[in-house]
Amino acid sequence: MSQSPNPAAPKQIAPLLALATKALRAGRPADAIAPLRDAALLEPSNAIIQHDLGLACLEVGRVPDAIAALQRAVASNPRYADACFRLGIALEKLGDMGGAIVAYDRATTLLPSLTEAWLRAGALAYTLGHRDEAIGCFRRAAVTGGKTSFGRLGKASALLIEDRNQEAEQVLRETLVVDPRNAMAYDFLGNLLSEVGRFDEARTCFERVIALAPLLAGSYYDLVRCRPITSDDDGLLQRMQAALATPGLEAGQCLRLHLAIGKAAEDLGDYALAMRHFDAADGVRRGSVPFDPAAFSLEIDRLIARCTPEWIARAPEIGSCDATPVLIIGMPRSGTTLVEQIVSMHPGVGAGGELHFWNQRGAEWHRSGAAGNETPFLAKATEDYLGVLRAIAPNATRVTDKMPFNFLWAGLIHLAFPRALIIHCRRSAIDTALSIHQTHFHPSMAFPTGGAELVAYFRSYQRLIDHWRSVLPVDRFIEVDYEDITGAPEPVIRRIIAACGLAWHDACLRPECNPRAVKTQSKWQTRQPIYRTSVARWRRYEPWLGPLRALVDAESELDPAIVGS
């Protein structure tokens, strides 16, 4: 319903806008909200006022209010590119990644020179697994931004996705010469350096990020993962605790900061303090990324009902005969990175990292619910997947995909590639859950990180794995226990390499020597020789496990040796 114009509105609005402008110029966006809101009530179809109200709300962290105002701005003027762009930022902060991408796409369609929108859209596309789309967005950012900082960051981002790390480093360092206070460039460079094992340099970069931009205090999460924290890191723990009080600190930064404090406290032996902050991080996450265990359990039921032994038995008839894929699956933090590092040390193997391919195609297949003729779908999926793998390693005999959540799609993957090897990584449930509880996961992942929800997720996962174990061929679905591979590595590693159909190579015994960039949460750990200190580490936290204790009790009933001593 359109509203009748208010003849008195302009006279009433002018002093309100003057008050808001004064507050904004003084750097007090919170004080601008009330007069902007009053002005918007007087003239609700004024897109500029709605945009400014949304922007002020966004700057003080009132994200739902910002979204509402920016949506009104776009509704009033669908060609308002800046409103579309800032709506994308607000939706991204809320965790609505799909909505944010749509808003950025609309903004760049209206104003193709909007470099930051291209950059943000690329980052989201990459997070969601759309590699080619991400590269395209970053290249558009590079073109539209030219030699500006955003343009250079777009160029570096595209190079990083293409694993052209030396070129990316050069671009980032050139950016910092021109713009030495660019915190984002330092963050990009720090992550690149940590991925290739240059941890001291990376740590220095993260320190610069925090010094230049205190609102990016979540970078402490990356800093503390460059190496273990010791008593020589004078005052670091206290600085991180003080950073929690930074005015305007966003929830995502707060979450990462809690995890950083927890990791540092663990390194220093204060497990009670560590668990308090891990719990606090989980509290922040569950406030913004809800998870429904009952709904997830029903989806697992659907998968099990659909993937019958008879359905699986059709694989040799309708699947591809290509044996290139090596899928490494399991719960996150169960040893998937270690296994990929081992396998990709073989000269005949390329490492794909965590590919989102099957999460997308599997979800599409699952939503369709169509039974019977999957042949057209599988033909397209196999062709596209092989295209992805060959782009990663054109000359490799095998290429790994270590996306843990492919455990959901093991049956579908086997139907598509009956000769592919699926390696299921197992680890003590309580050790795995505790590690998940201490790790940052992108908000786009509907995945619990603690409490009864994580226990329920584990039970659903175990139920599905039990099904795959019963229906998949034993030579195509092998299982590797973290406790075994860290206790006596060589026999387990030889079994893995043999299952891949590869000749033995001694380099596989030295995964810490793998030169590839590692895009994982455990960058420092992957550069260390295989170690066993993470086995039964839950015992350090025994008094503070809370709902996670149910996993200890369940495992003890099944096998007392699993929970270690």
Q: How many CB atoms lie within 10 A of CB 208?
A: 21
How confident is the model over 131-168, as pLDDT tens digits?
889 999 999 999 999 999 999 999 999 999 988 999 99
Q: Are residues 341 and 232 in the same domain?
A: no
**What's the structural domain count of the chain?**
3
Q: Quickly list H helices, 7-96.
A: 9-25, 29-42, 47-59, 63-76, 81-94
Q: Are residues 254 and 345 in the same domain?
A: no
Q: Are residues 280 and 323 in the same domain?
A: no
* CB-based contact 119:138 (threshold 8 Å): yes
Q: Are residues 305 and 284 in the same domain?
A: no
Cα(115)–Cα(151) distance, rounded to whole angstroms?
Answer: 7
Task: Show the 3-state SS of 398-456.
Answer: EEEECCHHHHHHHHHHHHHCCCCEEEEEECCHHHHHHHHHCCCCCCCCCCCCCHHHHHH
Per-residue pLDDT at 412 exceeds 70: yes
Query: Long-range contacts of range 156-164, CB-CB < 8 Å, 24 or more positions apart?
Result: 156/185, 156/188, 157/119, 157/122, 157/123, 157/126, 157/188, 158/122, 160/188, 160/192, 161/126, 161/131, 161/134, 161/135, 162/135, 163/517
Among the residue ranges 231-240, 309-318, 434-443, 547-556, the one predicted with the least confidence is 547-556
Q: Are residues 224 and 333 in the same domain?
A: no
Confidence of residue 9 (pLDDT cuts 50, 70, 90): low
Query: pTM value?
Result: 0.88
Q: Are residues 327 and 244 in the same domain?
A: no
- Tell me which amino acid residue 271 is: Y
Among the residue ranges 8-22, 105-119, 414-428, the one predicted with the least confidence is 8-22
More confident residue, 244 or 9: 244
* CB-based contact 477:469 (threshold 8 Å): yes
Residue 120, in any domain of the structure:
no
Residue 157, in any domain of the structure:
no
80 closest CA partner among 46, 100, 110, 53: 110
Q: Are residues 194 and 338 in the same domain?
A: no
Work out the burial of residue 412: count CB atoms within 10 Å of its CB; fewer than 13 is exposed, 13-18 middle, 19 or more buried: buried
Beta bridge partners of 481: 426
Mean pLDDT of 270-280: 98
Domain boundary among 85, 111, 137: 111
CA angle (249, 254, 257) in 5-degree steps: 125
Give the chain's mean pLDDT. Answer: 92
Q: Are residues 303 and 372 in the same domain?
A: yes
Cα(343)–Cα(334) distance, rounded to whole angstroms?
Answer: 16
Mean pLDDT of 169-188: 96
Residue 330, in any domain of the structure:
yes
Q: CATH number for the domain including 308?
A: 3.40.50.300
How confident is the model over 327-356, as pLDDT tens digits?
999 999 999 999 999 999 999 999 999 999
CA angle (203, 206, 207) in 5-degree steps: 85
Residue 415, in any domain of the structure:
yes
Per-residue pLDDT at 1 exceeds 50: no
Q: Are residues 198 and 85 in the same domain?
A: no
Mean pLDDT of 293-308: 96
Q: Are residues 414 and 496 in the same domain?
A: yes
How confident is the model over 449-484, as pLDDT tens digits?
999 999 999 999 999 999 999 999 999 999 999 999
Q: CATH number for the domain including 245?
A: 1.25.40.10
How confident is the model over 75-117, as pLDDT tens digits?
999 999 999 999 999 998 887 888 999 999 999 999 999 999 9
Residue 362, in any domain of the structure:
yes
Cα(446)–Cα(405) distance, rounded to whole angstroms?
Answer: 11
Confidence of residue 290 (pLDDT cuts 50, 70, 90): confident
Mean pLDDT of 378-389: 95
Boundaries of domain holding 105: 1-111
Confidence of residue 219 (pLDDT cuts 50, 70, 90): very high
Q: Are residues 356 and 497 in the same domain?
A: yes
Taking the mean position of all CA atoms in its chain, how far away is CA 302?
26
Per-residue pLDDT at 560 exceeds 60: no
* CB-based contact 189:176 (threshold 8 Å): yes
More confident residue, 57 or 374: 57
Residue 424, in any domain of the structure:
yes
* Beta-strand pair 349-351/398-401: parallel
pLDDT at 562: 47
Domain boundary among 50, 84, 111: 111
* CB-based contact 526:337 (threshold 8 Å): yes
* Percentage of the chain modeled with pLDDT above 90: 80
Residue 439, in any domain of the structure:
yes
Mean pLDDT of 371-388: 88
Residue 169, in any domain of the structure:
no
Q: Are residues 11 and 55 in the same domain?
A: yes
Domain boundary among 81, 111, 141: 111
Which two three-digit tokens encode residue 366? 């699952």
* CB-based contact 486:480 (threshold 8 Å): no
